[in-house]
Amino acid sequence: MNDSIRPLTSTRLTRWLFHCASPPVFYPLAGRLIPWFWALAALFGIAGLYVSFFVAPTDAVQGEAYRIIFVHVPASWMSMFIYLVMAFWAGVGLVFNTRLSGMMAQALAPTGALMAVLSLWTGSLWGKPMWGTWWVWDARLTSELILAFLYIGFIALQASIDDPRRADKAGAILALVGVVNIPIIYFSVKWWNTLHQGASVSLTKSPSMAQTMLWGMLLMALCFWMYSIAVALMRVRAIILEREAATEWVKHAVE
């Protein structure tokens, strides 16, 4: 029977996934995908910036300073989301001992750290004109700072261990323990009485305004998402070559 006619059973799907996850297959695949993610990031970025500055009107309460939301919220979302994806790959590597998983986790960490730093930086620049302070030790801000430290700790821990497989394992344990911080960040504004505003955009304004603001945030979040995938794929390709340098396929992959 022809192979292509057979139904896609879960065994075949698993086999296919493992096939794609092998570095010799994934390396060129990632290389082909990267330009598409850059194109998407650029498209969403242009549309998002247009909405952020030219469609979304001035806020009645916060004036123009609220426009920081269009980078602050996407950076914060991505800092949490990337952590979950990183911890997922680290966990997969720990359980299945697959080569690529640890590399994926390692490739995501700097991008996640960057998003956490941007979240704190833009939040600080928003807090100063609105709250009158750059920083408060409030539950939301403190847990986001801990997230930044978790990323930095993950990177530093892995850098301190020479054997990549052992570094993967140590990093995975740190990453998985740190997952507990994500719901703390997310629900901090509900669980504690914080200076940081609630989850949704709850500034007093007409529904139409909330609509354009939501669109701006959504487009910018998609831009940050596509950016993160593109840059993480670029980095994972470098990591693959570094770690697989001794293999025969790498010798052929690099002309």
Partner 1 sequence: MQWNDIGEFLAMGGRAFYVWGSFGACLLLMVAEPILAQRRARAVRDTLRRERLADELDRKPG
The contact set with partner 1 (CB under 8 A) reads: 53-54, 57-58, 63-65, 67-68, 71-72, 75, 110-111, 114, 117-118, 121-122, 125-126, 128-129, 227, 230-231, 234-235, 237-238, 241-242, 245, 250-251, 254
Min separation Cβ 64 and partner 1, Å: 4
Q: Are 41 and 230 in contact (CB under 8 A)?
A: yes
Output 12 or 64, the one with its CB closest to partner 1: 64
Output 117 or 179, the one with its CB closest to partner 1: 117
Min separation Cβ 147 and partner 1, Å: 16
Scan for tokens 């941007």, then name that residue.
118
Half-sphere exposure of 221 (CA within 13 A, CB side): 16
Min separation Cβ 140 and partner 1, Å: 17
Output 89 or 94, the one with its CB closest to partner 1: 89
Output 94 or 240, the one with its CB closest to partner 1: 240
Q: Six-digit token pair at 103? A: 């590399």
Q: Six-digit token pair at 195? A: 């200076």
CA distances to 54, 96, 215 from 110, in Å: 32, 24, 28
Look at the chain and count its residues: 255
Min separation Cβ 148 and partner 1, Å: 13
